[in-house]
Amino acid sequence: MTSDYVRIFDTTLRDGEQSPGCTMHLHEKLEVAKQLARMGVDIIEAGFPAASPGDWEAVNQIAKSVGTADGPVICGLARAVKSDIEACATAIAPAAKKRIHTFLSSSDIHIEYQLRSTREEVLTKTREMVRLASSLCADVEFSPMDATRSDIEFMYQMLAIAIEEGATTLNIPDTVGYSTPEEYAALLRGIIENVPGAADVIISTHCHDDLGLAVANSLAGVRAGARQIECTINGIGERAGNASLEEVVMALETRKQFYGLSTNIDTTQLTPSSRLLSACTNTQVPPNKAVVGANAFAHESGIHQDGVLKHRMTYEIMSAESVGQDGNALVLGKHSGRHAFRHRVQELGYSFDEATINHLFARFKDVADRKKYVDDRDVEALITDEAGRPSPVYELEHVQFASGVNAIPTATVRMRGPNGEVKIESAQGTGPVDAVYSAINKVVLTPVTLLEFAVNAITEGIDAVGEVSVKVVEGKHKHVRGVLTDKAADAKVWRGNGVNVDIIVAAAEAYVGALNKLLKARQERLKQETTARMEVASAAPGVDLFGGSTLGRYE
Ligand SMILES: CC(=O)SCCNC(=O)CCNC(=O)[C@H](O)C(C)(C)COP(=O)(O)OP(=O)(O)OC[C@H]1O[C@@H](n2cnc3c(N)ncnc32)[C@H](O)[C@@H]1OP(=O)(O)O
Ligand SMILES: CC(C)C(=O)C(=O)O
């Protein structure tokens, strides 16, 4: 039975629940079933009623509350066993549209070892049990379990019997995920061509992912004429799982011209469904999971980000919004480029000239080299740090330090001074920060008092960016917990901030920042004093113009 419509048969609540650790409580199964209905699946396989009273109850509740006339078909699974089929029939009874799905192995390995039976007995059982199911429900699906490892002629016989006894859907399971797309397509074509009546029933795919081919096999199946795909949210299921619903649906949707097929799925419900299931089963969706993974629409590398900023479709084949994700994301990291960085800075509400962007970008790369994720707070921290920084008197070009248990904390700094001169100094200290500050003091030669030193982690995690803020005053003074106690109590306090993944480097940057502000202010003061003296000198020749303190004295 071919048309251009593919039924989506969701088995999250049956095969999906067979995933180790994915068992759900009744209320969770109900919630998931409601979401599946909202999303527009055609059939919900709600469980295996004979498995336990709890599963019977879950199937029955779903049949009652989700199996409405305009809702999905509610299906239950049953072995080719009378009591299983009867339990299934009673469980699904309240649904407006219902289906019994019964199965029996067709492969010799299953028949001989698992069923401890014979081909003849299996054919008889198929006839009796499909007949029973059909007597209880008009809509019957039959699966020859382990179809892809079965003798093909024998399976044809089994399927023909199932059709004769009323099966309306033939599901062809690749139970152990053994098939390849070409083989699976050939298998389905063979069934449609060779099994009497097969062209008049719905052929269905049910593929497992043991070789990572479940989605590819399912798609090959619909190319070969299948019009039902059995699949699960997030691809959960026995062992490596089933074909993932979101992947098959989006493959059909995105490649509509190629497949020429449609489904009833509201694709914007894919991510909400994935998240609901994830919460109910307490399992994380891998970030790189197609369609619903956190990284499915995240671009980290500069070339891709630049492309996406210029035109989304350069690197996206579907939109994040079309599958219910919040939107795409340009994730800043060490592979990012200037375009993405500038874009993020603008998104954060800042605008800078090209030179500043380039400077910020260089600092960002430095952070990104040492940090796995650079988030908005990191970028904001860099911007704030940059904005509060006057053009430096001293530039900290290099800082290195050594510290440890029973080690003498030692630091070396290389700094460029106001006239472009480079100075290198080393010092020891009580700890690495003290050693770095002592080395900086040896370069700057400006007596100061450190009033406050505070460390703050701006972002979380072991690779977080740290911020150090310091307060200094000019000269050597006494203070108690940052409050000056001597005659300089009203001295101007200079603040500095440093932001870096390395807290010692952040401390060095903060200190140099505060010193620069102090020295800059003094330069300004001196300039004003000089201008005033010049004016006096031109009015009274012979006066000593530079009798007071000078910046040069400290250098
Ligand atoms: C590929 C699939 O996903 S198939 C579905 C798998 N899902 C499940 O098994 C979940 C629900 N299952 C259960 O709760 C239990 O297995 C039950 C209630 C169905 C059966 O439990 P038990 O009676 O204790 O049997 P157990 O599970 O140990 O063994 C399975 C029996 O079913 C038989 N069996 C397996 N498949 C079928 C079948 N399609 N039709 C008839 N009998 C079958 C086995 O041969 C075995 O029979 P045996 O006891 O005569 O040796
Ligand atoms: C019951 C059948 C359809 C099954 O789950 C399988 O064979 O994998």
The pLDDT of residue 388 is 60
ipTM: 0.98
Q: Which of 143, 169, 174 to mutate to test the pocket of ligand 2 (most atoms within 8 A of CB)?
A: 143
Write out the two tokens for 314. Answer: 């350069």
| Residue 335 CB contacts under 8 Å (≥ 6 apart), including other chains | 300, 301, 302
Q: Which of 13, 81, 106, 158 to mutate to test the pocket of ligand 1 (most atoms within 8 A of CB)?
A: 81
- For residue 163, give the amino acid letter: I
Cα 71 to averaged position of ligand 2 atoms, centre (Å): 24
Whose alpha carbon is nearest atom 39 of ligand 1?
104
Whose alpha carbon is nearest atom 48 of ligand 1?
115
The domains located in the chain, with CATH, are 7-281 (3.20.20.70), 298-387 (no CATH), 395-523 (3.30.160.270)
Task: Estimate the crossing angle of helix 214-223 against helix 181-194, to 10 degrees.
Answer: 40
Cβ(143) – ligand 1 distance below 6 Å: no
Write out the two tokens for 291. Answer: 């369609």
Q: Confirm or deny that 27 is annotated as ligand binding.
A: no
The pLDDT of residue 124 is 98
Distances in Å between the alpha carbon of 335 and those of 5, 329, 366?
Answer: 43, 14, 12
For residue range 198-243, what is the model confidence (pLDDT) as tens digits?
999 999 999 999 999 999 999 999 999 999 999 999 999 999 999 9
Q: Which ligand is nearest to the CA of 88?
A: 1
Percent of the chain predicted with pLDDT > 70: 94
The pLDDT of residue 554 is 30
Whose alpha carbon is nearest atom 14 of ligand 1?
51
51 Cα nearest atom in ligand 1: 14
The pLDDT of residue 389 is 57
Q: Which of 19, 77, 228 to mutate to test the pocket of ligand 2 (most atoms within 8 A of CB)?
A: 77
Own/partner long-range contacts of 28-31 (Cβ < 8 Å, ≥24 apart): 28/280, 29/58, 29/61, 29/62, 30/58, 30/61, 30/62, 30/65, 30/66, 31/276, 31/280
> Cβ distance 140 to 130 under 8 Å?
yes
Q: Which of 55, 81, 115, 122 to mutate to test the pocket of ligand 1 (most atoms within 8 A of CB)?
A: 115
Q: Which ligand is nearest to the CA of 207?
A: 2
pLDDT for 546 beyond 60: no
- DSSP assignment letter at 112: I
Torsional sign, CA 66, 69, 74, 80: positive
Average pLDDT over residues 315-340: 95
For residue range 465-513, what is the model confidence (pLDDT) as tens digits?
788 989 999 988 877 766 777 766 677 888 888 888 899 999 999 999 8
Cα 144 to averaged position of ligand 2 atoms, centre (Å): 8
- For residue 323, give the amino acid letter: V
For residue range 188-201, what is the model confidence (pLDDT) as tens digits?
999 999 999 999 99
3-class secondary-structure state, position 354 = helix
143 Cα nearest atom in ligand 2: 3
Cβ(175) – ligand 1 distance below 6 Å: yes
The pLDDT of residue 144 is 98
Least trusted range by pLDDT, from 81-95, 263-277, 370-384, 530-544: 530-544
> Cβ distance 338 to 361 under 8 Å?
yes
Cα 149 to averaged position of ligand 2 atoms, centre (Å): 13
For residue range 402-429, what is the model confidence (pLDDT) as tens digits?
999 989 999 999 999 988 899 999 999 9
Angular region, 471: left φ>0, alpha ψ -120 to 50, beta rest: beta
For residue range 278-305, what is the model confidence (pLDDT) as tens digits?
999 999 999 999 999 999 999 999 999 9
Dist. CA 347–CA 341, nearest whole Å: 10
Element (H, E) at 225: none
> Cβ distance 423 to 443 under 8 Å?
yes
Residues within 6 Å of ligand 2 by CB:
15, 77, 103, 143, 145, 171, 173, 175, 206, 208
Own/partner long-range contacts of 79-82 (Cβ < 8 Å, ≥24 apart): 79/50, 79/103, 79/104, 80/104, 80/125, 80/126, 80/128, 80/129, 80/130, 81/50, 81/129, 82/129, 82/132
- DSSP assignment letter at 349: T
Write out the two tokens for 364. Answer: 């960002």
Higher pLDDT, 462 or 147: 147
Q: Confirm or deny that 502 is annotated as ligand binding.
A: no
For residue range 67-111, what is the model confidence (pLDDT) as tens digits?
999 999 999 999 999 999 999 999 999 999 999 999 999 999 999
Write out the two tokens for 290. Answer: 């197609």
For residue range 352-367, what is the model confidence (pLDDT) as tens digits?
999 999 999 999 999 8
14 Cα nearest atom in ligand 2: 5
Query: Scanning the structure block, which residue is given the tokens 């870096």?
Result: 500
Strand 483-484 and strand 448-457: the pairing is unpaired
Cα 288 to averaged position of ligand 1 atoms, centre (Å): 35
Dist. CA 35–CA 271, nearest whole Å: 11
> Cβ distance 46 to 26 under 8 Å?
no
Cα 55 to averaged position of ligand 2 atoms, centre (Å): 17
pTM for the whole structure: 0.76
The pLDDT of residue 303 is 96
Cα 40 to averaged position of ligand 1 atoms, centre (Å): 31
Q: Confirm or deny that 208 is annotated as ligand binding.
A: yes
The pLDDT of residue 420 is 87
Q: Confirm or deny that 343 is annotated as ligand binding.
A: no
Dist. CA 227–CA 242, nearest whole Å: 17
Distances in Å between the alpha carbon of 432 and those of 395, 446, 459, 470, 496?
Answer: 20, 20, 23, 16, 18
Cα 198 to averaged position of ligand 2 atoms, centre (Å): 19
Average pLDDT over residues 155-167: 98
Whose alpha carbon is nearest atom 51 of ligand 1?
115
pLDDT for 555 beyond 60: no
Q: Which phi and psi (to 5°) does residue 171 adopt?
A: -100, 130
Whose alpha carbon is nearest atom 46 of ligand 1?
115
Strand 298-299 and strand 228-231: the pairing is unpaired
Whose alpha carbon is nearest atom 13 of ligand 1?
51
Average pLDDT, the chain: 92
Whose alpha carbon is nearest atom 33 of ligand 1?
115
pLDDT for 550 beyond 70: no
Torsional sign, CA 152, 154, 155, 156: positive
| Residue 436 CB contacts under 8 Å (≥ 6 apart), including other chains | 399, 401, 411, 413, 427, 429, 504, 507, 508, 511
Q: Which phi and psi (to 5°) does residue 61 adopt?
A: -65, -40
Closest Cα to residue 66, out of 13, 133, 17? 13
Average pLDDT over residues 139-168: 98
